[in-house]
Structure 1
Amino acid sequence: MTRDVEFVEASTTIAEAAVAMGDLGVGALPVGTADDLQGIITDRDILFRVVAKGLSNKAVTVGEVMTTTIFSCRQEDSIATALNLMGARNLRRLPVLDLNGRTIGLVTLSDLSRRMLLDSGVVQRAVAELSGT
């Protein structure tokens, strides 16, 4: 889970959001604040709702094309709960909320997959097998 979450405002241009995503090495940015999550803008939102339609990334704002239906998980939720929600809704990322509903992080499908692999011992067994121990 990424705990150092960078937010963008709905008034941010798509060009500015795309630069921020590139600088941060992320594929999505939450929109609003930790206390007021308004939506999420993803690389796919930009691709399908701006680029594919030939719109200007300097004229379109995040608020115009962001995903506003927000699915999230709580910090106390299990990996299985988060994975089930992501699978059911075809999501790649989930905002993580604390007990007060404040956004405290963003968990990705790759975060969960990596955690499950490490917990399962598959990686450790493969390394041991390859190293001959």
Structure 2
Amino acid sequence: MAATDRVGMAIKDRPEFKSKPKPLTMNAGDSVLDAVKAMSEKNYGSVIICDEAGKVTGVVTERDVMRKVVGAEKDAATLKLGDIMTADPRVAREDDDLADWLRIMSNERFRRLPVVDADGRIKVVFTQGDFVSYTWPDLLHQAKVLAQASVGRNYPIWMIGGGIMLYSLLMVIVVSSLS
């Protein structure tokens, strides 16, 4: 869907896009221990693994460290990020529709979404929490626009359905008044 045809909002148009701090990025060859120290220092829940060109190749989260390092009793000082990262993660473009990614993240059950520019370089990381701030008024407005478009196209169906409902309601009233 072209950006001009979109009913929703581009990721880059959300206030969070401009206000988010720069993501923590490292190389696949860096140690898990160095990543954990940097994540702790910045209070980040993940590190984005990038190649030399700045393109996303993987993601390592706190959960990965717990499961693949601590739980497996491995040495974080010698283990490399490339050994535990989720390789080739889903990556959004900054012009992508926000609501589309909200649905994808929910359906595929992942919490962090690297967002890249047109050249594929990391810009920000959106979390599910950022998407929760896609407020009810935004969602209700989008639902209203979609409903108006749908009703307009299906006017005869709405008339038939409405007529049947009105007839049924009148029959219930008439029958209950006779009792």
User: What is the TM-score when the length of structure 1 is the normalising length?
Assistant: 0.81
1:73 is displaced (CA, Å) by 1.2
Are residue 35 (structure 1) and residue 54 (structure 2) matched? yes
**Corresponding residue SS for 1:115:** coil
Which segments of structure 1 move beyond 4 Å, counting only runs of 4 or more? 117-121
Tell me, yes or no, if the aligned pair for 2:28 and 2:50 is still in contact at 8 Å.
Answer: yes
Larger Rg: 2
CA-to-aligned-CA distance 1:40-99 (integer Å, 9 cap, x gap): 111111111111111111111111111103101111122211111211221101000122
User: Residue 90 of structure 2 aligns to a residue in which SS?
Assistant: coil
Aligned residue runs from structure 1 range 1-133, under 5 A: 1=17, 2-33=20-51, 35-116=54-135, 119=138
State the alpha-carbon separation in 2 of the partners of residues 37 and 113 from structure 1.
Answer: 24
Structure 1 unaligned segments of length 5 or more: list them. 122-133
- Structure 1 vs Structure 2: percent identity of aligned residues? 26
Higher helix share: 2
Equivalenced residues, count: 121
> TM-score, normalised on structure 2?
0.61
**Partner letter of residue 23 of structure 1?**
E
Q: Distance in 2 between matches of 1:32 and 1:9?
A: 6
Unaligned runs of 5+ in 2: 1-16, 141-179
CA RMSD, 1 decimal: 2.0
